[in-house]
Structures are given as structure tokens and as C-alpha cells.
Amino acid sequence: MTWLVAQNHLDFKIANVTHSANQGIYHEKIGLFRDDWRNEVAFSGSSNESISGISLNFESFNVFRSWVSKDIERLQEHREDFEDLWSDRTPGLEVIELPEAVKKRLIELAPDELPREIIPHRRLPPHPGTEVTIGDELYGFPVRPSSVVLYEHQREALRAWIDAGSQGVLSMATGTGKTLTALSGMSAMAAALRQADRPLFVLIVAPYKILVRQWATQAGNFGADSLLCYDSASKWVEQLSERLRAIRQGFAPFALAITTTATFSGPWMKEAMQQAPKDFLVIADEVHNLGSDTALKALPDNASMRIGLSATPDRHLDPQGTKGIKEYFGETVFNFSLKNALSGGFLSKYYYRPVLVNFTLEEAEKYVLVCRKIARLLGTNDPTLENLPNGPLKTLLFERARLIGGAQNKISALRTAIAPYRKDANSLIYCSDASLGIDGSAPQRQLDAVVRMLGGELGMHVHSYTSDEDESTRITLEQRFKNRDLQALVAIRCLDEGVDLPSVRRAFILASSTNPRQFIQRRGRVLRNAPGKEYAEIFDFAVVPPEDSDPSLFSLERRLFKRELQRMSEFAEHAMNGQQAFSSLLDLQKRYHLLDI
């Protein structure tokens, strides 16, 4: 204490009670801490530092922090009280300086050098209560583990990204290591910046919570502690602010937050990102999801480094959204196609099995009726029709798509196709969101009909996997599937992106949208390599328009079916049985004069 006084690190004042009784003493315990960055902590009360006080007494004191909004008012009150006290403005007290003779004597008793008992200075956590071992980092520090060996295409992707100024999109086929590539880039950048004593903040944006958790697991393998930001802001916004403060103030060389696209697009995240430091990296998984107006507006301008990841970075029928993504993340600086992945052995080889299905009589009549209405609208040559999101043409095209997606004969065709595998596991079934029952029977979702047929008629252990199941249920279903307790999962769209189930051997696709991204993502789900997996199989169900439909509708049907055929040809092109698959489509190509596809 005497050394602190001698070095002008400690000062004393004396408080005397001045009320008329003049019998009491000044016994208040208050304090105020402030650092160089003007963070403040105020406290009132104290615990007795005696054996009985520490081990036996029931004691408490109050603490108020400047970085916690609910504490600010009370902290200001305590600051004003302390300043009044120190400046001798508190009624009922007289505060005087320590007599000069006493101070002089204390200085005379002070040692010349810093006592050995005093712990050398080291950086402490950014707020009280955080336990840190000397040498550890507050939020971890990413280092690529020895078990992660990058392939040449991953190293090439990182070189291309760095050469482009640490900005750009990596277009890599699903299952070829986008996540490990990005995390390796993150760890390399963090290490380089650390040499210059510059901290790095990283924000990873992923479409769904399940993907956020997967990223956090992988980042943990690199040694990074992830803050997961989704659902209510009250669960994460204060912790995020603390991490950003720690980065800015030099308490930590690295911090990582991972969020969903929905949370990222909200006001809380946008406000928080304004506190990010100069060295700020944004990693966007499935970057095509950030092309909406809301998401584009949320992209932080202060991010100096940016990585976009996707097997399909261009947005379907949305040139403005695609343009916005490119303007923010940059052009595609690296491409690793499905062909590259298959030839390199990074994905499983596969057989493609088209399953052609006919409408029922009732469905065919409805289909022709809808097509005639579409043809009449197109015959008006009104260029605005196709751009009206809820216009009559879009409504009819949607109705036609639901007829095709929910065709009743797909159920019996699925029964025939899956029957040889009724004792096997590792199957995914993708359904339409349409309902069956056009023939007068009670309508039911195609998904429910599939689950009932597989479980009731074939005796298989299956379960639906949709938005109806909550997050914890989906996690349980995935684990049961991996354990082979469930033979198949039946979904609509929830298995399109992100779910990591490499053991899948077969996919039965009962319905597809016209968006190429959907079938590319679905194919990627089933082509991931796994122990003992020699190849995968994709069963693609397509409805054939009725042959005796109105001849005047030929051009329309050709135009609409061309999209189906393009998807099927894309599947067949890279399949082990590609020639056989193409042969099964030949009659349809001839019928619609589409031999060039």
C-alpha cells in the first residue's frame, strides 16, 4: 500500500460525520471502477474479509455495469454519489485531505521497487465473472487441426480468394468441403493478423439453425468458441456486444459469432455489426439465400473480408438478387463442379433411375383444362403477365405444378420402386406439398399418403421430417436415422439444404420445382461419401402429359415439359448408367421435338 501511495497510484481522504448527535461513523461501502475505454463498474456494500465473513456469514453486495442497459441508471446514481462524496458535497459529512505529515510518513515507509508479492500485469477478461487461465484466449483461437488435410482444390480456392483481395464467392459442389475450406481461410487470416497484433472478428451466416450448429461443431474442432445468435435477441445480443467490446479493447485476438439468415436480416444484428472492428470477416453459407431485399440491406458495409459459399450462387429467376450478391461478395473466384467432384472421388458415384408416371383420368382432364387457360393467357401476348407475382398466369402455373407434383399414381409407382429395399435403411423421400383426392376421395397430403403406405403396407420404419416437427424432434429423427432405427425420412423441403446425412444411399424424388438449385442440392445430399458406400441411387418421378391432349396445346406442353427434361438430362449426364437413363427418355424427347437436350 505504501508503494502505491509513493507512486501516486493511491490516495486517501477522511470522512467525519457532522450531524448534531456526532456519535456515528462513516460506514458506507461504495466504489467506482473506470478503464481507459470508459467502461465503468459501480458497487455498493461489501463482504467482511474475515474467516467468519467468508465462510460463515450470509453477505451480498450490488454491482452495476456500464455495458448492461438495465444497470446504467443505477450506475449513474452511484457515480454522482461518489463524486459528491470525494468533492465534499455530501450533506452530513465533512471530507478532508489526508494530513501531509501522514502521507509523508507513508512514502518514507514505501519500498523502492515493486514488491514481489504483487502479481505482474496481464490482460483480464472484459467483464467480471469470466474465468480465464493465463495464456488462454477468451473465445478460443482458430488453428486448423492436424486431422484436417486440405485437398488441392480447397487450397486452390483459398489462393483464389486471397488473390481477389479476400473477397469473392467459392462455387463448390455440395459435399466437397466448403465448410472446412472457409474455416481454414478464417484460421489462416486470424494467424496472419495476430502477427501484426490485430484482432479478427468473424460472422458466419447460415440458412437454418441446424446449419448454425454444424458450423459451430466444425469451428470447435479448430479451437474457436462460437456464439450462436438466433431466436430471441435477449439470448445473445448482450454476449455479442461483450465479444465485440473485447475485440476492440484488445482483450481477445479473435471472436466468432454464427447466426441464421433470418436473425442476420433483423435489426439487432445490423446494429451490433456497427461495433465490429476493422478486420471483420463475413462467411455466408448458401450465399444465394442472401439475395432478398431484406438480406441485402443487412449486409455490413464495414466487413473488410467476405466469403460466399454455394453450389448454386446464382438465384433462379432473380437477376437483381444475383447482382446484389455479386456486388457485395464479389464475383465467383473459384468453381469446383459436380463433374470435378465425381472424377476426383470426392462424391459417391450414382445411378439415375427416371420413373415416368401417368395421370389418372380425372387428373388428365383437369390438367388439359388448366393448360387451355394458360394458353389463352399467353395468347394475349401481354408481357406483364409473367411478372405479376399473384397474377392469373402465376396462379394457373402454380395449379398445374401442384397437379404434377401430387399425381396419385406416384404413390403406387413409389411402392413398386422402393419395395426391393423395404428391409434396407438410408433412404430419403422428397414429396410435393400438394394434396391428393382430385377423384372425389377425401384430400390428404402426399407426404401423409407416402408415410401411411411405407409404414402400413410395406412395414417400414419411417417418419416425416417437415416444418411441423420442432427443432429438438428433428435432431432426434436425424440421430435415429443415423442409427438405422429409422429406415427412411419423408420430407417436402426441409432436407433440401444443410442436413448432414452422408449414409444416405437412395433418394426418391416425387416432386421437384423448376429451380435448378433444388435438384442440385438434393442430389448433393445423397452423393456424400460414407464408409461402405459404393454408390448411390436417385429415383426421379416425372409425370408424362396425356398423349391425346388437345393438339393446340403442343407448343405450351413442349415449353413446360422442356424444363422437366432439362433437369432429368442433367441427372443422367453424370450418372454411371447415363446412357441407359437417356434411352428411357428418348420417346419423350422425340414426342416433343427435344432431341437437342
Which pLDDT value is given to residue 8? 79
pLDDT of residue 577: 97
d(CA 339, CA 506): 20
Q: How many alpha carbons lie under 13 Å from residue 168 in its C-beta half-sphere? A: 19
Cell 445490423 appears where? 270
Q: What is the pLDDT of residue 49?
A: 61
CATH dotted code for 152-343? 3.40.50.300
CA distances from 36 to 40, 250, 379 (A): 10, 12, 73
Contact call for residues 225 and 254 (beta carbons, < 8 A): no
Q: Which of 536, 539, 563, 273 is nearest to 404 (CA)?
A: 563
**End-to-end distance of the chain based on CA atoms, in angstroms?**
87
CATH T-level assignment (fold) for domain 350-591: Rossmann fold (3.40.50)
Please state the three-class secondary structure of 7-36 as a single string: CCCCCCEEEEECCCCCCCCCCCCEEEEECC
**Paired sense of beta strands 30-34 and 40-44, if any:** antiparallel
* 152-343 and 350-591: identical CATH topology: yes
Distance (Å) of CA 476 to CA 120, 410, 461, 479, 486: 50, 29, 15, 5, 11
CA distance 288 to 132: 39
> What pLDDT does residue 55 have?
52
Bridge partners, 205 (sequence order)? 259, 284
The H-or-E segment that residue 245 falls in is: helix 237-248
Per-residue pLDDT of the chain (597 residues), as tens digits, is: 787 777 777 888 888 888 656 567 777 888 888 765 567 888 888 766 655 555 556 677 788 887 676 777 888 888 888 888 888 888 888 888 888 877 777 777 778 776 545 444 434 434 433 333 323 467 889 999 999 999 999 999 999 999 999 999 999 999 999 999 999 999 999 999 999 999 999 999 999 998 999 999 999 999 999 999 999 999 999 999 999 988 988 888 999 999 999 999 999 999 999 999 999 999 999 999 999 999 999 999 999 999 999 999 999 889 999 999 999 999 999 999 999 999 999 999 999 999 999 999 999 999 999 999 999 998 888 877 777 777 899 899 999 999 999 999 999 999 999 999 999 999 999 999 988 765 556 678 999 999 999 999 999 999 999 988 888 898 899 999 999 999 999 999 888 776 789 999 999 999 988 888 898 989 988 999 999 999 999 999 999 988 876 788 898 889 888 988 999 999 999 999 999 999 999 999 999 999 988
pTM exceeds 0.95 for this model? no
- Domain spans of the chain, in order of start: 2-108, 152-343, 350-591
